[in-house]
Structure 1
Amino acid sequence: MTDINKGLTQGEADEKMRRGECSGSFSVKSKSVGKIFSENIFTLFNLINVVIAVCVALVGAYRNMLFMGVVLCNTAIGIIQEIRSKRTLDKLAVISAPKAHVIRGGEQKILPVAEIVTGDIMQLSSGGQICADGVLVRGELDVDESLLTGESEAVAKRPGDELYSGSFVVSGSGRAEVTRVGAEAYANRIAVSARKPRKRRSEMMDSINRIISVISVCILPFALVLFTKSLFVARQELQYSVTSTAAAIIGMIPEGLVLLTSIALAVSSIRLAKRNTLCQDLYCAESLARVDVLCLDKTGTITTGRMKVAGLRMLDTDYPAEDALSALAVALGAENQTMAAVAAKYPPRGSTVCIKTEPFSSARKWSGAQLEGFGTLILGAPSFVLNAEEYSRISEICSEHSAVGQRVLLLAQSDRPLPGKSLPERLSPKALVVLTDEIRESAPATLKYFREQGVELKVISGDDPVTVSSVAAKAGLPGSESYVDASKLRDDEIQEAALKYTVFGRVTPQRKLELVQSLKKAGHKVAMTGDGVNDVLALREADCSIAMQSGSDAARCVSQLVLLDSDFSSMPLAVEEGRRCINNIQRSAALFLVKTVFSFLMAVLFLFVGSAYPFQPIQLTLISALFIGAPSFLLALEPNHSRVEGSFIANVLRRALPGGLTVVLGVGALLVMQSVFSIPQERISVMAVFNTAAVCFGVLIGVCRPFRKWHTVMLAAVAAAFCGAVWLLGGLFYITPLNLCEWLCVAILIPSSLVVLRGLTVLLNKFLRRWSGGFPAAPRLKKAAAAVVLALSALYAVWLGAVFTDYLQVSCGSYPVFARQQPDGTSVGILYRIEDSKVLIFSRKE
C-alpha cells in the first residue's frame, strides 16, 4: 500500500508507466485518417470506373475519360467530411479531458489523466472528477455515479469503499489509492465495446450499392460480348469498340447519384454543425429521419440535470422561511444541486453573519449553519432530521410529494448552537421545501414535435420509475403513466415489456442494450440518446445514436450525432434536414437511374442486333451533366420536410423505369430508320443523343412537379445549355450535321417519345399501385440479376446458332467459337485449335 501522505516517488511512477500501468495505455479512439482514406478509395464503385478508364486510355480516347471527374469528386467529399468530423471529435476529447490531482513525493501535482499509474494517491475534492478506479483511504465523499449507472442520487463513500473513474465528487474531500487504470478501469470495461467498429447502415446508400452490386454481376459478360460483337461482327475499329463498350458500361453505373447523395448529406452536416449538432458520418441525418422509436434518457434530454424549488409547505405560518432559506444558501454556498436550487429560488436578501456551518453528508442527509439572527438552521431529509414521533405528523405530506416524483426537505430551526456533525437540541420544524427535476424549457415542444411526426417515445433511466414517470408527465410525454421497474423484469419478459411500456426505471447498461435490441427485432427503427458510459452499449446498437457534448468521451465516440450544446431541442432540425435529403435525393435519383435503366436494356438489345452501340462515353457525360446532374443537385437542396414513406429504391424506380424504357424504344425506332434510310452509324448516334436528351428533359419536368418559379428558369437554362453545347462544341461531343431527312426523323421521333413516356408513366404507376408486393426484396435482387445474365447468355448462344448459319467448315482438330459470313463473302470469327490450345482470329474470303 502506498504511503497516503507521500504517495509514489517520480521514479516509481516512471517505472510503472514504462510497464504500461497507466491510464494512457487505453483510450477510445476515433477512426484513423489512413482508414478513412482506404474506406473511401477502395470501393467497388471506384474499381469499376478505374478499370473502364484504363481501357479507354489504352486506346487513346482521352476525352472520353471525363467521367472520372465525378468519381474523384465523390471520393474527395467522403474523405473530407469524415476527416472534418474526426478532428472535431478529437478536439472535444481534448477539451473535455480532466486533470488529476495526485500526491507524488509528498507534493500535490496536477497531471494529465494519461499519466496516472496504479498506486498513485489522488487528492479528491467537491466538484472534481474521479479519473481512475481506486479505494478511498482518507475522508468522506458523496459521489455522483450517474454517467456510470444512470442513477442521479449521490452515493456516500467511506474509507475502504470503491471509487470508479467517470464519477464526480458532489461533496466532501479525501484521498484515494489508484487500483485500476487503462482497460481495467470500470468505465473502460464498459467503453471497450465502443472500440469495435460497427458499420452504420444507410437505406439510400444501401439501395445505390445494391444497384451497383447487381450491375457488377452483369458488367463483365456484357462488356466482353459487346466488345467482341462490335469488333468482329459490326467490323468497327478497335478504339470505337472500346469506347462504345465503355459508354454502355458507364451508363449502367449511377456515379452521379453517389456524388449527389454525398454532397447533399455533406451540406446537411454543415448546416447542422452551424446549429451545434455534429454529424460523425454522412448518413446520420438520414438515419434519424427514418426512426419510428426514440429512446430518451431522463437526465440531459428531458431535464437539465439540475433541481429546482417547486414550492414551500409551511409548518409554521409565522416563520420567515424564505428569508431563512436565503441566508442559509449564502452561508453554505452552492455545495450541491439542492443548495444551488435553493439559492436560485431565494437570492440574497441582506447580509447575515455566519458563525458555523456543517456541509451536507449522504450519511447524515442534512446540512446546516449557525447564523446570527436566525439561530441554527438545518435543511435535510425529514426522516433524518426529526424523530419518529415528529416525522409521523408530516409523513403523509412527504408521501404525497414522493408519489409524484418530488423530493421533500425539511427546514428546521433551533436556538441552540450547532454542535458539529450532530443535530442541535430543541429543533422546531418550520417548512417543507419541495424540489423537482428542472424540465428543459424546450422539452415539451420537442416531445410534441416527435409525437406529431409519428415517432414513439420511450424514456429509459437508471432512476426510480415513479420519479421518471412523473418527470415525463410534466414534460408532456404521452403514456408516461405506463412505467416499469426494469430491474424486476426477467430475460424472457424483455421483448414484451419493450413494446408495452413507455417509461423504464432502474435500467442497467446491459438492460438498455436488450431493450434497444428488442425494439429492433420488432421491426422498429430505433434512435437512442445518452451521455454516460452506461449508455454506450445501447448507443452502439441503435440505428441512430445521439450523444451530448457534456457527456462521456466513450458516448461521443460511438454516436452518430453529437449535440455540441447538449440541448435536445436541436433534434427536430436534424430530423428536418434528414427528410429534406431523403425526399429530394429520392426525387432526383430517378433522373440518374433513367440512364442506368436504358443503358442496361440497350446492352441487352445490342446483343441481338448487328449495329454498333450508338453512344460515346462523352455523349452520355453531356446528357448526364445537363439533364441529370446539375438539376438533381439543385433539386436536392430544396426545402422538403415531408415524412419519408416507402422504400427508396421502389419510389425511385417508379419514375426511372418509364424514362429508361422510352429511350430504348426510341433507339429501337432509330435502328429501323437506319435500315430503311441507310443512315450512317455516326448520324444514328447523333439522333439517339437528341432523342435521349428530350426524354430526360421530359422526366426532369415530371420530377420538378409541383412547379416553382425557379424550376422554369432551371428548365430554360438546361435547354439553352444543351443547344449551346451542340452548336459550339459539336466536334467535342461527336455531333455531326444531319441532312433534311434525318432532321424529319428526329422531329417525328421526339414528340412520339414524349407521348410514350407519359403513357408508360401512367401505366406503370397504375400497375404498381395494384402490386401490393412492391419491388423484390434486397436479398433476392443479386440472385435475380445472376439468373437474368445466365438466361441472356443462353438466349444469346441460341441466337448465334440460329442467325449465324454460315459457319466455316473447319477440320475436326479445331472448331469456331464465334464466326459469321459477311455479305461480301468474307468469313470472320474466333477459332480454337485443339492441338496447341491456341485461340486464333481469322478472316477468309470464300
Structure 2
Amino acid sequence: MDSLDRRQGLSSEQVAQRVRDGLSNADEGIKTKTEKQIILENTFTFFNILNFVLALFVLLVGSFKNLLFLGVIFSNIIIGSFQGIRAKRTIDKLSLISAPKASVLRDGKLQTIPVSGIVMNDVLHLSTGQQICADAIVLEGEAEVNESLITGESDPVLKRAGDELLSGSFIVSGSCYAEVEHVGRENYANRIANGAKYVKRTNSEILHSLDFIVKTLGFTLVPIGILLFCKQFFLLHDTIREAVVSTVAAILGMIPEGLILLTSVVFAVSVLRLSRYKTLVQDLYCTESLARVDVLCLDKTGTITEGTMQVDELHPLTGYTEEDMTAPLEALVQVLTDDNPTYNAVKAYFPGGSDWKAAATVPFSSARKWSGAYFGERGTYVMGAGEFILGERFGALREHTEEYAARGERVLLLAHSAKPFLENKVLPDDIEPVGFILISDKIRTEAPQTLRYFAEQGVTLKVISGDNAVTVSNIAQKAGLPHAENYCDATTLHTDEEIAGAIEQYSVFGRVTPQQKLKFVQALKDHGHAVAMTGDGVNDVLALKEADCSIAMASGSDAARTVSNLVLLDSNFASMPQVVKEGRRSINNLQRSASLFLQKTIYSTVLGVLFIFLSASYPFEPIQLTFISSITIGIPSFILALEPNNERISGSFLANVLKKSFPSALTMILGVLFLTLFKEPLNLTNPQVSTLSVIVAFAVGFMLMFKLCLPFNALRGALFGTMVAAFFVGYIGCMDLVSMVPLTAPMLFILIPLLIVSVVFMVQTNHFMEHFAERHTRRLLQSRFFQNHRRKRHEAAHKDRHAARRMRRRTEQPSRVRDGKRA
C-alpha cells in the first residue's frame, strides 16, 4: 500500500473484493465438537449396538418385560451426551477471542467492526489493553506488546514501524497503526493451534480395561449365542420365544452393562463435584488420568504466578534511606496515570495518598522507558529503566542490577533532581539515583501449598516456560518447587536426544518454544511416565494436546481451553488437589464396585459356554438377571462408588477387580451346575431349578457384597440390610414378574446345605486368590491376546501422533512471502 492508502485505509470496494477472494479473518481456530457429533459418539458404540441388537430379538418374540435392560443403555447415552454438551457450551461461552471488536481505518475513517470482518491489508488502530486479532506489520507509532500467550515470554516487547505483531498478543502500552498481513488460518496463532487438530484417544486404564473386556466378550458372544439358541430350539425343542429369551439372558449376563453405566455415573458425579471448585471437566475419564500421573509439567505464568507484578523491597543507595524513597513514590503513583505491570505493582505497594502537588508530569512511554513528575520545591522524581534515566553513568550501578536480575528480580531506578524537566520533557543533566525498586512476578498465594501437595504424592514437577531460565528458577524456588535450582536454558537443546536427557535431569526450563514443549511431553511419555500439563497460551496447545491429562486456565487462549481435558474456570491452580482426590475416589471405589459386575460377567460367560454342551435349558431369564443385578450389583455398587475415598491408587485396575470377583463367580458356577446336573435325581422341575439358581446367585452376591462392605459403617450396614430385605420383598411380592416359584420343603432341603457349602468354598477360594491371583493376573496381562489389544492401542496412538506431525508440518510452512522475506 502507498502512503496515501495508509492514511485512508482500504476502500469499501477493496474490502468487498477481499471478502470475495476469501481473504477475510473468518475464524479458523480449533472448534469444539457439534452437539450432533457428541450425541452420535455416545450412542453408536460397540457396547450400545450390541445391546440394541439383543433388544430387537427380544422385541420380535414379544417378551416386552425382558427389555428392562435397555434402561441402562439409554441412561449411559444420556449421561455421556449431557456432560459432553455441557462442556462444549461452557467452552463456547468463554469466547473464541478475547477482543470481539477491532478498530480499522477504512475510507479515511476509523470504524469498529467484528474481528471476523477484518480483511487482508486492513489498517488496524491498536491501543493499550487491546488484543491483536490478526498478524500485522506496524506502520506508524510504537507500542509494548505482551506475547506471553504466543511465545510464553512475559516481558513486554517494544514494537516500532516495520516490526511484526502476532495475533493473540496484547498491547501493554502505547498505540500504533498496523497493516494486516495474515488472516484466518494463516495467522501465527492459528498455524500453531492447527497442529493440535487431531483426535486424541482417552488415556484411561479403566476405559481401556472395560474396552478390553467388552471387545473380548464381543468375539465370543455371537458364536455362543448362535450355538445356545440352536441347542435350545433344535435339540431341546423349546419354543422360539423360550429359545430367544434364554439366549438373550445368557448374553446379557455376559455383558457388564451396569459397569459401563456405573463408570459414567461415577465420573459424571465427579464432574458435578468439581464444578463447585470452578473446574470444568471436558473428558469424563480425565480425573482418573490426573490421579495416575507421575509427572506434572507446569507453565509459570498463570499457574505458579498470577500474571501480575509485585514490589519485593526498596533498596536505597548510599546516602539515602528507605524513607527517602517512600514519600516520592507515594507521590508519583498519586499523580501519574500510567497503566503497565511495573507501575501497577508500585501503585499497589503504596496504596496511601500524598499531599505533594505536581507542577508537571511525564507519562511512561516505550521510547523513554521512564515516567516522572516535577513537584516544585521538592524537585523532579522519575522511576524507570536505569539505562534510560542515567545513560552512560548507569555503568557504575550495572553490577548491582545484574545481581538482582540473577535472583529473578526486575529493577526500577528511582532518581531525583532539584531542577524541573527541560524542553520536550528531557531529564535534567544532574539527575541522581536514589535507590532501586525490586519487582518480581507475583506468586499465587496457594501455589506453595499446591506444589507441596503434589510433591508429597510422589508426583515429579517440571516448570516449562518461555521466560528467562534464571528468572523462572528463582520464582520456582520462591514457590517451593523441589529442585528448582536445577534449571536449563532450552535454547541450548538442539536434538531430540538432548531434550530426552534434559527432561529427566532438570526441573526448570526457560526459553522453551512451542515445539520444544511438545517434545518434552513426548520424551516423558516415551520414558514411561504418565504426564499432565498445565498451560494457558497458544504456545502451550501442542503440548496440552499430547499430554495424558491437560489443564488450561479460563483466562488463557481459546485454543488452549478447547484442547484441554480440564479447564480451571477461575484460573486457580489450587483446585488441582481436589481434582486428584476426585480421581482417587472414582478409581478406588470403581475397583470395589466393578468386582460385583465382573462376578456376573464371569459366571454368565462360563455358564453360557457350558450350557451349549449340557442337555438342559439355560436356567435364567433376562428379567431374573435384571432382578439379581439391581439388588446385588446395581444399587450397592452405585452407593459404594460414591463414598469418600482418598487412598493412593495401587496395582492394576483389572488385577484388583479379578482378584475379588473370581471366587464368587466360581462359587456361583458350581452351584448352578450342581442344580442342573442333579435336577432329575433331586426331582426338580425347570422352574424350580431356575428359582434355586436365582437364590444361589443372590446368596453369592450378598457374600461378595458383605466382603466389600468391610469394615462396616452406618451407611454400609444400612445398605447391606436394605438389599437383603429388598430381595425377600421382591421374591414374595413380585414372584410372577420375576418368573420364580414358591419354595417347597424338598427345595429347602437342597438349598440350605448348598448355601453352607457355598459359603465355605467361597471363603477358601478367597484365601487362595489373595496369595496367587496377582501372579495369575500378571500372566493374563502378558497374554498374547491382551498384548495384541494393547499393541493396537499403541498403534492407534502412534497414528494419532503421526497425523499430528503431518498437520504441524503443513501449518509450519511459510504461508506467504512478503517483500522477499518469510511472513
- TM-score normalised by L of structure 1: 0.90
Any idea what SS the aligned residue of 1:677 has? coil
Q: 1:129 to 1:421 in 2, by over 3 A?
A: farther
Q: 1:64 to 1:716 in 2, by over 3 A?
A: same
State how far apart, in whole Å, the 2-side matches of 1:105 and 1:279 are: 47
> What is residue 272 of structure 2 aligned with on the other side?
270
Any idea what SS the aligned residue of 1:129 has? coil
State how far apart, in whole Å, the 1-side matches of 2:787 and 2:511 are: 46
Give the CA deviation at 1:391.
3.1
The one of 417, 421, 429 aligned to 1:418: 421
Give the CA deviation at 1:41.
1.0
Q: 1:757 to 1:421 in 2, by over 3 A?
A: farther
Tell me whether 1:245 sits opposite 2:237 in the alignment. Answer: no
Indicate conservation of the 8 Å contact 2:79/2:265, yes or no: yes
Give the CA deviation at 1:577.
0.9
> What is residue 407 of structure 1 aligned with on the other side?
410
State how far apart, in whole Å, the 2-side matches of 1:554 and 1:422 are: 45
Give the CA deviation at 1:403.
1.7
State how far apart, in whole Å, the 2-side matches of 1:452 and 1:615 are: 51
Give the CA deviation at 1:351.
3.8
Aligned partner of 1:702: which letter? K
> What is residue 780 of structure 1 aligned with on the other side?
785
Q: Deviations over 1:707-761 (max 9, x none)?
A: 1111111111111111111111100111012321111111111121122111111
Q: Deviations over 1:244-287 (max 9, x none)?
A: 11111000100001101111111111111121111112112111
> What is residue 114 of structure 2 aligned with on the other side?
112
Tell me whether 1:298 sits opposite 2:300 in the alignment. Answer: yes
State how far apart, in whole Å, the 2-side matches of 1:145 and 1:725 are: 67
Give the CA deviation at 1:410.
1.1
> What is residue 673 of structure 2 aligned with on the other side?
668
Give the CA deviation at 1:606.
1.2
State how far apart, in whole Å, the 2-side matches of 1:578 and 1:359 are: 52
The one of 344, 353, 358 aligned to 2:357: 353
Within a 5 Å distance, the mapping from 1:624-773 to structure 2 comes to 624-769=629-774, 773=778
Tell me whether 1:309 sits opposite 2:311 in the alignment. Answer: yes
> What is residue 625 of structure 2 aligned with on the other side?
620
The one of 479, 482, 489 aligned to 1:485: 489
Tell me whether 1:37 sits opposite 2:42 in the alignment. Answer: no
Aligned partner of 1:205: which letter? L
Aligned partner of 1:277: which letter? T
Aligned partner of 1:218: which letter? T
Give the CA deviation at 1:57.
1.2
State how far apart, in whole Å, the 1-side matches of 2:672 and 2:64 are: 26
Q: Deviations over 1:602-636 (max 9, x none)?
A: 11221221111110011000000111001111111
Give the CA deviation at 1:106.
2.4
Aligned length: 784
Aligned partner of 2:420: which letter? P
State how far apart, in whole Å, the 1-side matches of 2:719 and 2:774 are: 31
> What is residue 818 of structure 2 aligned with on the other side?
none
State how far apart, in whole Å, the 1-side matches of 2:713 and 2:509 are: 48
> What is residue 517 of structure 1 aligned with on the other side?
522
Indicate conservation of the 8 Å contact 1:154/1:362, yes or no: no
State how far apart, in whole Å, the 1-side matches of 2:102 and 2:92 are: 20
278-287 vs 412-421, which moves further:
412-421
State how far apart, in whole Å, the 2-side matches of 1:133 and 1:152 are: 19
State how far apart, in whole Å, the 1-side matches of 2:668 and 2:376 are: 93
Give the CA deviation at 1:233.
2.1
Indicate conservation of the 8 Å contact 2:290/2:583, yes or no: yes
361-370 vs 55-64, which moves further:
361-370
> What is residue 380 of structure 1 aligned with on the other side?
384
Any idea what SS the aligned residue of 2:407 has? coil
Q: Deviations over 1:483-520 (max 9, x none)?
A: 10011112121111111110001100000000000000
Indicate conservation of the 8 Å contact 1:214/1:781, yes or no: no
State how far apart, in whole Å, the 1-side matches of 2:345 and 2:380 are: 21
Q: 1:273 to 1:754 in 2, by over 3 A?
A: same
Any idea what SS the aligned residue of 2:474 has? helix
**Structure ID, larger Rg:** 1
Tell me whether 1:134 sits opposite 2:139 in the alignment. Answer: no
> What is residue 802 of structure 2 aligned with on the other side?
none
433-442 vs 227-236, which moves further:
227-236
Any idea what SS the aligned residue of 2:567 has? strand
Indicate conservation of the 8 Å contact 2:313/2:438, yes or no: yes
State how far apart, in whole Å, the 2-side matches of 1:552 and 1:644 are: 33
> What is residue 469 of structure 2 aligned with on the other side?
465
Q: 1:647 to 1:770 in 2, by over 3 A?
A: closer
Within a 5 Å distance, the mapping from 1:428-507 to structure 2 comes to 428-491=432-495, 492-507=497-512
Aligned partner of 2:388: which letter? F
Aligned partner of 2:518: which letter? L
The one of 394, 397, 400 aligned to 1:397: 400
> What is residue 816 of structure 2 aligned with on the other side?
none
Indicate conservation of the 8 Å contact 1:155/1:362, yes or no: no
Indicate conservation of the 8 Å contact 1:223/1:249, yes or no: yes
Q: Deviations over 1:280-326 (max 9, x none)?
A: 12112111111111000111111111111111111132572111112
The one of 585, 598, 603 aligned to 1:598: 603
Q: Deviations over 1:447-468 (max 9, x none)?
A: 0111111111000001111110
Q: 1:91 to 1:480 in 2, by over 3 A?
A: same
State how far apart, in whole Å, the 2-side matches of 1:262 and 1:778 are: 28
> What is residue 810 of structure 1 aligned with on the other side?
none
Aligned partner of 2:548: which letter? D
Indicate conservation of the 8 Å contact 1:405/1:468, yes or no: yes
Q: 1:382 to 1:783 in 2, by over 3 A?
A: closer
Q: 1:286 to 1:597 in 2, by over 3 A?
A: same
Give the CA deviation at 1:775.
3.6
Q: 1:621 to 1:699 in 2, by over 3 A?
A: same
Q: 1:547 to 1:373 in 2, by over 3 A?
A: farther
Indicate conservation of the 8 Å contact 2:338/2:364, yes or no: no
Aligned partner of 1:329: which letter? V
Q: 1:95 to 1:382 in 2, by over 3 A?
A: closer
Indicate conservation of the 8 Å contact 1:213/1:782, yes or no: no
Indicate conservation of the 8 Å contact 1:303/1:438, yes or no: yes
> What is residue 207 of structure 2 aligned with on the other side?
205
Q: 1:127 to 1:352 in 2, by over 3 A?
A: farther
Any idea what SS the aligned residue of 2:363 has? strand
530-539 vs 115-124, which moves further:
115-124
Q: 1:94 to 1:506 in 2, by over 3 A?
A: closer
Q: 1:236 to 1:782 in 2, by over 3 A?
A: farther
State how far apart, in whole Å, the 1-side matches of 2:405 and 2:252 are: 69
> What is residue 156 of structure 1 aligned with on the other side?
158
Aligned partner of 1:741: which letter? P
Within a 5 Å distance, the mapping from 1:582-597 to structure 2 comes to 582-597=587-602
Give the CA deviation at 1:777.
4.1
Indicate conservation of the 8 Å contact 1:650/1:774, yes or no: no
Indicate conservation of the 8 Å contact 2:334/2:353, yes or no: no
Q: Deviations over 1:160-190 (max 9, x none)?
A: 1111111111111111111111000111100
Indicate conservation of the 8 Å contact 1:324/1:374, yes or no: no
State how far apart, in whole Å, the 2-side matches of 1:84 and 1:427 are: 61
Indicate conservation of the 8 Å contact 1:214/1:782, yes or no: no
Structural RMSD (CA): 1.8
> What is residue 190 of structure 1 aligned with on the other side?
192
Q: Deviations over 1:360-396 (max 9, x none)?
A: 34454333333334422221222332244x4344333
Indicate conservation of the 8 Å contact 2:303/2:572, yes or no: yes
The one of 65, 75, 81 aligned to 1:63: 65
Aligned partner of 2:236: which letter? A
Any idea what SS the aligned residue of 1:394 has? helix
